[in-house]
Chains A and B, each alone.
Chain A
Amino acid sequence: MSEKIKILYVDDEMNNLIGFKASLRFDYQIFTAQNTSEALQYLNKYPDIKVIFCDQRMPHKTGVDFFAEIRSTHPYPIRILLTAYTDIESVIDAINKGHVFRYVKKPWIDADIISAIEEAVHFYEASSMLALKNQELHKAYSELDKFAYSVSHDIRGPLVGIAGGINLALNTHNLDEVKEILKMMNKSVQKLDDFILSMHDYYSLERGELKITDIDFRDLIKEMEDVYEIYAKTLSIAFKIHLQQEESFWSDRVSIFLIINNLLSNAFKYQILEKEDKFVSLNIVVEKGIATIIVADNGSGIDEKYKNQIFDLFFRAHIKEAGSGFGLFNVKSALLKLNGQVEVDSELNQGTTFTIKIPNK
């Protein structure tokens, strides 16, 4: 285990505190407090305290009252009461009201305390895991809602268009016109397929595991060149590539490929075709365990007012060549998994530069 479990003990008798700490400090990180306000300070400073022991009989406040108070403000630490038999009525009451997880009778023996801690920690972990899972579920649900809404439109849109195309083609006698319709239907099919592929990327990123391997960026760049050469040629866009890698770099190849591919695809897509000196540049430098990837272009740029939203799912900032709405969201998810960062520098009609930094795994 990497870190000792944090435990707080509140008791007005100094001797008890010293004895408790002395016998348990090797296995746990023990905080001791002589009164409840001191105890609160510890709770606020260390929100990851997992178990609180508290004496029942203290001069200003009873242990049960203290637990009842902190139950709402600090719900996660497990509350254990230390008490003598004479207080049994108030203990029963406290347990029934849910303020106390367990009680250990005074004077205590170490074995009782240790078994109480073990059970409490077990319970703590189970319930905090549950809370975490619950949060994740909520997030997943709201994403799913938005997802279903957007996807139904984005898939149905091209399909409905294709259906309309078929109808039209069936009623058209001129073969050349039919071919023209077919060509356009083909584009819609392509777009739909791209959309589904990005959706698959989205799914893999959300659910998939990382596979860390030694990455040779030369290989990766070769693949990119093969894909984008044709765009560069047909649209006369200069594709400039620079690579500097003298050390090995460990990361998830699929995620890195996805990041670079999405950025390049945008850089080639959002060009100003009338411009003379169109370019897309890919600059990769691996140095001191950090890969810096810069994708730049002198294309249409991003309007200042949309800059905060470009990484949102289904956000589209461009009128023409509207994307799937997945691309940059996927880039952000991939970076999150790789502990990477992204910076965007863009000016409308001047171009865009994405700077990505990814640490070695």
Chain B
Amino acid sequence: MKLNFIIVDDRELDCFIAEKLILNTGKCNSFKAYDNAIEALQDIKAIEPEKGSLTVLLLDIMMPVMNGFQFIEEFENLPKETKNNYRIISITTSLNKNDISRISTYESVFGVLKKPYSFEAFEEMINNISQES
């Protein structure tokens, strides 16, 4: 099954790298990058997802104005039908164990990747998502 991808990261380079890795998985149906969480959230609320499609959302944690934690708090309040269409992978540079364990406690977070992540680790997580669906 093909997947849609969204990346939310304020660093241009990191978005670019993620895009290449996503394309390399060969599972990419569509791709969109956001440099901030606010716009991403607006779009998620506004756009009705196609039936039966699944979107992988790569979420950076440390971002100005709205960080990854705040994004997830808002995301968890969305209707169940919307949430079911997304699989969030949070991506962090944080070395802080509290940050990492806190982010994994959210129900809607599928997995956590620590930057820099290898293509193999990324691909494995994507495979898990596509097999589950």
Question: What 1/0 flags go to A181-202 for Cβ under 8 Å of B?
Answer: 1001101100000000000000
Verify B93–A164 contact, CB threshold 8 A.
Answer: no
A contact residues around B115 at 8 Å (CB):
157, 160-161, 164
Which residue of the partner chain A has the closest CB to B24?
A171
Report how far A168 CA is from B119 CA in the complex, Å.
9
B8 to chain A, nearest CB (A): 11
Q: When the two chains form the complex, which single residue of B20, B36, B39, B93 contacts A157, counting CB atoms closer than 8 Å? A: B93
Question: Which chain A positions have C-beta within 8 A of B17?
Answer: 161, 164-165, 168
Residues on A lying within 8 angstroms of B by beta carbon are 149, 152-153, 156-158, 160-165, 167-168, 172, 181, 184-185, 187-188, 316-320, 322
Q: Find chain A residues with CB under 8 A from B63 CB.
A: 319, 322
| Shortest beta-carbon contacts, A-B, top 8 | A316-B64, A319-B36, A161-B13, A322-B64, A160-B115, A164-B17, A184-B13, A164-B116
Residue of B nearest to A315 (CB): B64
Across the interface, B94 reaches (CB within 8 A) one of A153, A162, A164, namely: A153
Shortest CB distance B45–A (Å): 17
Q: Are B11 and A157 in contact (CB under 8 A)?
A: yes
Q: Which of B11, B35, B94, B95 has the most CB of A within 10 A?
A: B11
Query: Do A319 and B10 contact each other (CB < 8 Å), given the known contacts A157-B62, A160-B116, A164-B115?
Result: yes
Within 8 A of A (CB), among B19-34: 20-21
User: Once the chains are docked, how many angstroms separate the CA of A235 from the CA of B116?
Assistant: 34
Q: Shortest distance in angstroms between A148's beta carbon and chain B's nearest beta carbon?
A: 10
Minimum distance in angstroms from A321 CB to a CB of chain B: 10
Compute how far the CA of A161 lies from the CA of B17 in the bound complex, rounded to whole angstroms: 8
For A322, list chain B residues within 8 Å (CB).
Answer: 10, 63-64
Chain A min CB distance to B59 (Å)? 15
Count of A-B contacts judged by CB separation below 8 Å: 66
Q: A157-B62, A157-B93 are in contact. Are A319 and B12 (CB under 8 A)?
A: no
Nearest-neighbor residue (CB-CB) of A191 within chain B: B11
Secondary structure class of chain A's binding surface, majority of residues:
helix
Contact call B35/A163, Cβ cutoff below 8 A: no
> How near does chain B come to A160, taking the closest CB pair, in angstroms?
4
Q: Does B14 count as interface, using CB distance less than 8 angstroms?
A: yes
| B96→A162 contact, CB < 8 A | no
CB distance from A329 to the nearest CB of B (A): 15
Q: Given contacts A163-B116, A319-B36, A320-B35, is CB(A153)–CB(B65) below 8 Å?
A: no
CB of B96 within 8 A of CB of A317, answer: no
Closest residue on chain A to residue B65 by CB atoms: A319
On chain A, the residues within 8 Å of B13 by CB distance are: 158, 161-162, 164-165, 184-185, 187-188
User: Once the chains bind, are B12 and A149 in contact (CB under 8 Å)?
Assistant: no
Q: Can you name 20 A-B residue pairings with CB atoms under 8 Å?
A: A149-B96, A156-B95, A157-B62, A157-B93, A157-B115, A161-B11, A161-B14, A161-B115, A164-B14, A164-B116, A165-B17, A187-B12, A188-B13, A316-B65, A317-B64, A319-B10, A319-B38, A319-B39, A320-B36, A322-B10
Closest to A167 in B: B116
Chain A residues with CB below 8 A from B93, complex form: 153, 156-157, 160
Question: Measured between C-beta atoms, what is the minimum distance from A217 to chain B in Å?
Answer: 33
Complex Cα spacing A163 to B14, Å: 10
List A contacts of B16 (CB < 8 A): 165, 181, 184
When C-beta atoms are compared, the residue in chain A nearest to B14 turns out to be A161
- A164 CB to closest chain B CB, in angstroms? 4
| Contact residues of B between 90 and 105, Cβ < 8 Å to A | 93-96
Q: Give the distance in Å from the alpha carbon of A344 to the alpha carbon of B42 in the complex.
A: 30
State the Cβ distance, A162 to closest chain B Cβ, in Å: 7
How many angstroms from the CA of A267 to the CA of B64 in the assembled complex? Answer: 19
Taking CB atoms, residues of chain B closer than 8 Å to A165 are: 13, 16-17
Chain A: CB-nearest residue to B17: A164
**Which residues of the other chain, B, contact A167 by a CB distance below 8 angstroms?**
116
Which one of A157, A158, A184 has the greatest number of beta carbons of chain B within 10 Å?
A157
Q: Are B64 and A318 in contact (CB under 8 A)?
A: yes
Q: Contacts of A157 on B, CB cut-off 8 Å? A: 11, 62, 93, 115
Q: Please indicate which of the listed interface residues A152, A153, A161, A165 has the most CB atoms of chain B within 10 Å of its own CB.
A: A161
Q: Could you tell me the distance between the alpha carbons of A318 and B39 in the complex, rounded to whole angstroms?
A: 13
Cα separation A187 to B45 with both chains bound (whole Å): 33
CB distance from A234 to the nearest CB of B (A): 19
Nearest-CB residue, chain A, relative to B62: A153
